Amino acid sequence: MTTALEATDKDFERMMQMLTGFFCDADSQVLWPPTLLRIISQRDPATAEKIATIEGIDSTATFRLLRACASLGLVTCDDGLTFSGTPLLGTLRTNVPGSLHSLAIAWSAPGHWLPWGRFLDAMRTGQPQTVPALGAPDLRLLCQTA
């Protein structure tokens, strides 16, 4: 019989999920680049170099982005160089019912996640951290005055 303070394997598993939750934040950052959102619309397999040329961006950085996407199951890499979108990536297409495209843009944008980096400051001071984090007032106030 365990007491209330004795942790079980399930408790340790849950705590590990909580402690590593920021890994998911990194995943959302992979989804944010506008380039990725354009890559989604490309139906044919393509190399990082081809995508970089089309987008006018660095091919090495594009390759790294696509490798990160592959690790998340968003694309496959057939021959080490050619990438293809997966059905998971397809959830971000704008032309599908229930598209998560706009949500991916909103939730992974710096305006959404930067203030969370100042959470401890908010707890210490009791003050919102939007201005210190973004250099702009709370967007809710802007919406109320508009």
Segments of the chain scoring below 50 in pLDDT: 142, 144-146
Looking at residue 82, its pLDDT comes to 93
- Determine contact, residues 37/105, Cβ cutoff 8 Å: yes
* Domain residue ranges in the chain: 21-107, 114-146
Residue 146's pLDDT is 41
* 76, 82 Cβ separation under 8 angstroms: no
Q: Please give the model's pTM, rounded to 2 decimal places.
A: 0.67
SS3 50: helix
- To the question of domain 21-107 being in CATH 1.10.260.40, the answer is no
Compute the residue count for the chain.
146
What's the rounded Cα separation, in Å, for the pair 134 and 51?
Answer: 32
